[in-house]
Chains A and B, each alone.
Chain A
Amino acid sequence: MDIKFILSILLGKAILSATKLLNIGGGSAAPGYYALKFYPELVTKLSKQIPKTIVITGTNGKTTTAKMLGHFISSQGLKVLRNTTGSNLERGIASALISNFNMLTQSLNYDAAIWELDEAAFNSVALKLSPDIIVFLNVFRDQLDRYGEVDSIVAKWCKTAIKLKKSTKVFFNGDDASLIPLEKCFTGTKQTFGLSEFKIRGEKALSTKQQKLDFEAKNIEIKGLDGTKFEVETKTGKWGVSLSIPGIYHVYDFLASFAVSQELKLAPSSIINSFKTFSPAFGRVEKFKLLNSQSNAYIFLIKNPIGATQVFQTIKPQLKKDDRLLLILNDNFADGTDVSWIWDAGFEELRLKNLDLRITCSGTRAEELALRLKYAGFNPTSITIEDNIEKAFKASQTGLNGRLFILPTYTGLLSLQKILAHLGIKERYWKEN
């Protein structure tokens, strides 16, 4: 037995207990961080104990896809392990593995692991995980200050991919032309997913001679805030799906999860049926009732130009004259410190003809957001600037007769989560998984 290995796990578990006991937070990173210092091969060694390892990467949709796939797998009575959001670096994965490692049986009692890795972490962690399946969702401009330019992200992914084992099965978004160069980086099986209509085009134009998609959503019917109806067609069959989360972008997340579940030989009709009990990840289209009013509020996370524009297109047909918007722009590290992206996002899409909705802009760069709206053609008198998110949330409810649409960036969403918990609207610390 490898004593150092066991000691590193014990060390990690001790730190985990300490952080829980002292309630100091950091439980998703610290145990892994220190255990890895003590035993650098920890992730490789532990990960091998799980029969199927699935890695999900891309700019948008990682959390929803991981959550959906996790739901599909566990609906079939299988045990699945995932990393919590915000801890998608190696230490986060190590922490998840350590906390679930059973010291008595000296094993991890899981059938599958789903790891979401951000664009940069993919290159440092994928080789250690030696995944059986990889999903590439998309690659859009997002936080250039952290991840770099789209072409360089794909080039780095390719370098990593070449070193992976040949049996690795790859699924990628066939509608995102930026991902196409990846095809030649994998020698194993590659399959694509995408839409027959309403395609979300990426940063590059798609060739007119697009290859036949392996998993294709067809006959798509957009049902506003109630979601999307479509058929998913593969070589082996066709199934009707009613997705209750609005937004075409979620159809891609579904297709990716569905494709992987087919690789895992899960019964299609059974997993589609399991959707009835699926609830989306926090802030990825969330609906709740506001206090002291009968009004509904919806939260849609926005974080980069293509994603945000997709959100605008999803909610625009739903906006009515009494509805209001609360937009939150932060420029903290996790949001990206460069707010240039809002100038590439289609805020013009949110404008209604002859109708000025009340809009509150909040967050650390509320003024920049208000400026963007002014240049998108909104009447400045309909815009209120309130940096403080809690105050902005309250102000946007005063005299509200319609619904409130809240569109925050990532750390704005985290603040909102605390505020909602504090006000008793949502229970505290609800988790993403």
Chain B
Amino acid sequence: MKLVIGYLYSDLMNIYGDTGNIIALQKRAEWRNIEVEIKYISVNDKLNKGDVDIYFFGGGQDLTQEQVAYDLQKSNKGKIIKSEVERGVPLLSICGGYQLLGEYYQPHNKPKLRGISLFPAYTVASNDRMIGNIVIKTQDSVILRSKTEESRSFAKAQDDNYLVGFENHSGKTYLKNEAKPFGKVIKGFGNNGEDHTEGCIYKNAIGCYMHGSLLPKNPELTDWLLTRALEVKYKKEVLLKPINDEIESKAHNKAIKKFS
């Protein structure tokens, strides 16, 4: 089996530790003898349906974010990403990437940046810098699905739906009524520091504020993305081979213990 990871705007949107997520996806696939290709997709590149099996979209600085927002609208990339997510292709977006996949981003004293409206959410710049470690409890439906598979692959030290990372943003994201949050904030700010929601999930696409890097120390989420990608691509049920996740569990549990 083979997976293509599409790294969106890696040259413009890679702020801190985003690379760790790519490394985690790649390694955990390769350790299961799944071949991995990383496709870098930036402003001048073309994107077609079926090119990519998992999308990753990281965070950026304000100026580059404008460039990227413009390209998502002007090229057909925004449309393709949306229609691919509709057919179940998994996507993980963090911070700036998450914001641009919502309806819009409203900066300070500047015109709105239009998003692609994948997530029913919008973001407004604020004067609060929301920085620190973050722990969330994911929506049951996300991890429950992976848990039935994962529980067969490794015994976790403690049973939780907790994810842990580091957030650093001043944009406040608000979810619209129909939006489903990715999780509930246990420690930290999350979407806006007000309503205890963090991130957004639509089909197999996730948007959130969790750097850290997120995927290496939350391996069940990594495996969930890989599983979804393989199932969509090969149109069959997929059970990933177990991995010894001792160090992953230690890093995960240490971070949770330290922060919450």
Residue ranges of A at the interface with B (Cβ–Cβ < 8 Å): 141, 144-145, 149-152, 337-344, 364-365, 367-368, 370-372, 374-375, 380, 383, 385
Contacts and interface: CB of A to CB of B under 8 A. Distances in A.
A377 B26 CA distance: 12
Contacts of A149: 15, 61-62
Contacts of B24: 375
A344 B216 contact: no
Nearest to B166: A338
B17 A341 contact: yes
Given A343-B20, A364-B258, A375-B23, 11 more contacts: A337-B133, A338-B16, A338-B212, A340-B16, A340-B17, A340-B20, A340-B213, A344-B17, A344-B19, A371-B248, A375-B24
Interface in B1-57: 15-20, 23-24, 27
B117 interface: no
Contacts of A383: 247
B166 A380 contact: no
A338 B247 contact: no
A383 B244 CA distance: 14
A150 B61 contact: yes
A343 B216 contact: yes
Contacts, number: 85
Interface of B: 15-20, 23-24, 27, 61-63, 131-133, 166, 168, 211-213, 216-217, 244, 246-248, 250-251, 254-255, 258
Contacts of A380: 244, 246-247
A141 B17 CA distance: 11
Given A151-B63, A380-B244, A144 B16 contact: yes
A421 to B, nearest CB: 28
B259 to A, nearest CB: 10
20 contacts: A141-B15, A145-B166, A149-B15, A152-B62, A338-B16, A338-B17, A338-B131, A338-B212, A339-B212, A340-B17, A340-B211, A343-B19, A344-B16, A365-B254, A368-B217, A371-B217, A371-B247, A380-B247, A385-B247, A385-B250
Contacts of A385: 247, 250
B213 to A, nearest CB: 4
B247 A370 contact: yes
B250 A370 contact: yes
B170 to A, nearest CB: 10
Given A145-B131, A339-B166, A367 B16 contact: no
Contact of A368 (B61, B244, B251): B251
Contacts of A151: 61-63
Contacts of A344: 16-17, 19-20
A22 B257 CA distance: 37
Contacts of B16: 141, 144, 338, 340-341, 344
A251 to B, nearest CB: 27
A339 B214 CA distance: 11
A51 to B, nearest CB: 40
